[in-house]
Homo-oligomer: A and B are copies of this chain.
Amino acid sequence: MCDEIIAEKTRGTAKKLFGEGIKMDPPYLTWREFDKELANDLSKFITGNLYSRTVLSLPERQMIACAVLAATRARDELKLHVNAALNVGCNPEKLTEIFFQMATYTGMPAVNEALTVYREVLKERGEWPIGEKKG
């Protein structure tokens, strides 16, 4: 794919996912402090290529991302992607259910951590408790 198109897709997708409400630095800033060129290549590949594919909608991708990051105990990345999930319009009740469903596959410790991170993010965004916001 042409470099210019990828760069534009990277910016566009990144804006939708991480454009607002996130109270933490994205990993990209860390990569850049170590190696600017590789940081750009990683970002273009992950955000501009993988995440810009349209077979899955962005809310579907974020539901998968949240499930996988919770299951593998990647707490910081989970926090980032729970924010991104809410930014692209994932249903907050479905996210709760996804984290409870993991009980069967990963046991309760991963569920506990995911719910704790999720509540933390919802509070930061003023969207807690879930029911209230819609009232």
With A106-B107, A112-B76 already in contact, the answer to whether A98 and B42 are too (CB < 8 A) is: no
Q: Report yes or no: A129 in contact with B33, Cβ–Cβ below 8 A.
A: yes
* Chain B residues near A46 (CB-CB < 8 A): 104, 108
Q: Which of A29-79 contact B (CB under 8 A)?
A: 30-31, 33-35, 38, 41-42, 45-46, 49-50, 53, 55-56, 60-61, 63-65, 67-69, 71-74, 76-77
Tell yes or no: A115 within 8 A of B by CB.
Answer: yes
Count of interface residues, chain A, beta-carbon cutoff 8 Å: 54
Q: How many copies altogether?
A: 6
Q: Which residues of B contact A98 (CB under 8 A)?
A: 56, 64
* B77-A38 in contact (CB<8A): no
Q: Is A100 an interface residue (CB 8 A)?
A: yes
List residues of chain B with CB within 8 A of the CB of A69: 105, 109
Mark interface residues in A1-39 (1 if CB within 8 Å of B CB, else 0).
100000000000000000000000001001101110010
